[in-house]
Amino acid sequence: MTASGAPARPRELPQLSLLPVPPAAAPALVPLDRRARGTEFLALPVRSVLNSAVATGMGFWSLNPYVGCEFGCTYCYARDTHRYVFERMGQSADQLDFERRILVKPEVADALARTLDPTRLAGAPLVIGTATDPYQPAERRFRLTRRVLEALLGWRGLSLGLITKSPLVARDLDVLQRLAERHELSVSISLATLDARLARRLELRSPVPAARIRALARLTRAGINAGLLVAPIIPCVTDGREALDALFRAAKEAGARYVVGTALRLGPAARLRFLPHLAREFPGLAERYARHYAGRQTVDRAYREALSRRLLALRRKYGFSSDRFQAAGAGPATAPDTQPLLL
């Protein structure tokens, strides 16, 4: 009975679920274009495009208009990101999909304009192209990186970075010059070796080294704060004193403002692609790499410190300043740098 004296209604049981409720479907990847050689471009819907420094564990924020890259560099650590994005959408991706199935973010500039809050950056740099090249061949067709740069003209006082292997970056000199007037801007040309044949063995379809050096010169002549990113430095392959010296000399002649370098890092997906490739191209190194990178993604401390000393000595030789682009952990060069770096 209720307080009013009316008979109580029996308590209704919750409805039984006879069939499981299906999870929300991942957004479909809409085909945008397809190359004659089979490379496919798929639209990736996005609501936000900024990766925070906390999320990445790096000292900067990042943005990537594309996921996957036609350049197909065998060592690229972004293969792990590419695999993760496909898995998150309920799809699988094999090792070659990184260069054959490129995810394109058509709304990247609009999402940036809608979500960028300079106060959240707290003075940390925002770097474009940390995972996949923002000026890979797809940029000729989709022009997403240019639209991102144009969107950034709506703010002032940011610290902006851009990383690319491609001379296509010089196409956007007009926007880069305007950005440099409003922000602190740096453009890093990525190059691991001046040897065109060696570069082709490591980077299947990337621009030839000479074209990248010419692009660097065009940027610096136009007044852009541009430099050379020697990355990755591949142990026992591209880390020789003479080879690195040649890169520094070419950078100096091109008017580079800085040169920095980082050693090879191998995440799970990159390892599956690079180590078999290394065994085919440099069979004498296969066992040493398997042993050195077993249980780790980066070179050990001894190699890292030796490499830092070598880079510091070369920066001093060619007069590059020790500014914010200097590699972390570089110590004083106390002895002639003539010995090979040991992996």
Is residue 342 situated within a structural domain? Answer: no
Cα–Cα distance, 53 to 94 (Å, whole number):
29
Is residue 28 situated within a structural domain? Answer: no
Is residue 31 situated within a structural domain? Answer: no
Which range marks the domain in which residue 228 is found?
38-318
Is residue 19 situated within a structural domain? Answer: no
Contact 208, 256 (CB under 8 A): no
Contact 247, 240 (CB under 8 A): no
Is residue 336 situated within a structural domain? Answer: no
Q: Residue 252 belongs to a domain with what CATH number?
A: 3.20.20.70
pLDDT at position 319, please? 95
Tokens 């001894």, residue located: 302
Give 295's contacts (C-beta < 8 A, 6+ positions apart).
none
Contact 192, 232 (CB under 8 A): yes
Is residue 164 situated within a structural domain? Answer: yes
Count of domains forming the chain:
1
Is residue 338 situated within a structural domain? Answer: no
pLDDT at position 32, please? 83
Backbone angles phi, psi at 131, to 5 degrees: -110, -55
Identify each DSSP E strand in 93-241 by its residue range: 101-104, 126-128, 159-164, 184-190, 226-233
Is residue 53 situated within a structural domain? Answer: yes
Pairing, β 126-128 against β 259-263? unpaired
Query: Quick one: 52 exposed, middle or buried, by C-beta within 10 A (0-12, 13-18, 19+)?
Result: middle
Q: pLDDT (tens digit, 0 to 9) for every residue of the chain, 343 residues total? A: 555 555 555 555 555 445 554 444 556 677 788 877 788 999 998 888 998 988 877 889 999 999 999 998 999 888 878 877 777 777 777 777 888 899 999 999 999 999 999 999 999 999 999 989 999 999 999 999 999 999 999 999 999 999 999 999 999 999 999 999 999 999 999 999 999 999 999 998 999 999 999 999 999 999 999 999 999 999 999 999 999 999 999 999 999 999 999 999 998 888 989 999 999 999 999 999 999 999 899 999 999 999 999 999 999 999 996 554 333 333 333 344 555 676 6
- pTM as predicted: 0.85
